[in-house]
Amino acid sequence: MKIILTTLLSIFFINTCYLEADLLSKYKSGVIKLEKDLSFAKGINWEDIFYNTYKQISVLPNNKILVSNFKENNLTLFSKNGKKLKTIGQRGKGPGDFYHPRGLSILDNKYVLVTENPMNRKISVVNLNGKFIKVIKTEKTCFQIAALSDNKLAYTHVLSSTAKKFEKKIQVIIKDLSTNKETLILSKTIPFKSILRIKGGIFVFPSHTGEFFIRSSKDKNLLVAYSGENKIYEYNNKGTLIKTIVLQNKAVPVTSKYIKDMKNYYIKHYENANSLSKSIKRIDFSQFLDKNLPYYRDISIDEEGNIILLDWNKDYFDKNKHLSIYNSDGKFICKCSIDENGYETEFEHYCFTKKGIFCLAKAKEEKDDEETWPEIIKIK
């Protein structure tokens, strides 16, 4: 009996280690290549499913896959094998409706929290099979969301300055869903140097001075990060700071070449928008940047709790995705990159799980008149 028990424990240990090492082994290989698992989503016509902009993908605890469709104002649920199961919701502001759904976060391994247009102050709750459960109203506009333990969630509220010096004031709020009580746990003001004043209004560039993020840890604590700093802060579900992670990522200096390339990109991109193009040509783009670029572009947490940072490239036209991997304790593990292998992807459209790495991707268009459609890829 003792020998059998020991053998069973050994098998369990080996299987557990294999699962836990699987994602790390992919990272440590140095390259994650977008090679399709051909057994996934076999025979699916993606043109019939994704013909407009999506926002986020999530692999659920029951292995099903959920995608929020930003412009179509609905969610799409897939089986673990990639078969479309159903479309959830439609455009609207009532229960079960969506208005530009965005973020997805798993609550207590039973429900999915869905954010939408921040001005609605509304979070929808659906179960793991896509059934609408209820609406949660927030006291303030809700931008990002992170599900926490014990029936709690965190969200961000953003206030933008209209003064000459543009800034964003970010508030992080924890909401107890049992009592509906909301608690402000921190407030931070960050620079917002992405505004160009033009005749008749303003134009907003993607930020090059840092973004603010909240994420759920593996243990459903709250991770708070600002990419203009090389630290990540972990809070428990009561809003108490329990850990500070110091990153090894180095700030990338802004060069004159980077500024010139950035300006040339926008001149070309908006060459058909006459008034905007003229404004871009006249201005000094260094006003949109600090001395250094942020420490990273984006952040994701995989199913094992590892922290995945999308590095900021020193060359403006380098669109390759280079990653820095840290474990849940903040220890640096390795660097790796993503080989898109003929596809176009956004980092926010990746989902790193023990069941595999999934992403929303679109084949690159080889000709001007060629149109390709987004699809879900399970990486081989």
| 272 shares a domain with 169 | no
Please give the residue that has the higher pLDDT: either 135 or 374.
135
| 261 shares a domain with 216 | no
Cβ atoms 227, 297 nearer than 8 A: yes
Which residue, chain included where needed, has tokens 């380098």?
A: 318
Would residue 10 count as lying in a domain? no
Q: Within a 10 A sphere around the Cβ of 349, how many other Cβ atoms? A: 19
Would residue 15 count as lying in a domain? no
pLDDT in tens, 107-161: 999 999 999 999 999 999 999 999 999 999 999 999 999 999 999 999 999 987 6
| 127 shares a domain with 91 | yes
Residue 41, pLDDT > 70, answer: yes
Mode of pairing for the β-strands spanning 231-235 and 241-246: antiparallel
| 374 shares a domain with 274 | no
| 171 shares a domain with 112 | yes
| 338 shares a domain with 198 | yes
| 34 shares a domain with 175 | yes
Residue 368, pLDDT > 70, answer: no
| 326 shares a domain with 276 | no
Q: What gap in Å lies between CA 347 and CA 351, rounded to an integer?
A: 9
The boundaries of the domain holding residue 268 are 255-288
Average pLDDT value over all residues in the chain: 89
pTM score, whole prediction:
0.90
Would residue 44 count as lying in a domain? yes
| 130 shares a domain with 273 | no
Please give the residue that has the higher pLDDT: either 361 or 18.
361
pLDDT in tens, 59-93: 999 999 999 998 889 999 999 999 999 999 999 98
Q: How many domains does the chain have?
A: 2
Q: Within a 10 A sphere around the Cβ of 359, how many other Cβ atoms? A: 23
The helix/strand/coil state of 258 is helix
Cβ atoms 341, 359 nearer than 8 A: no
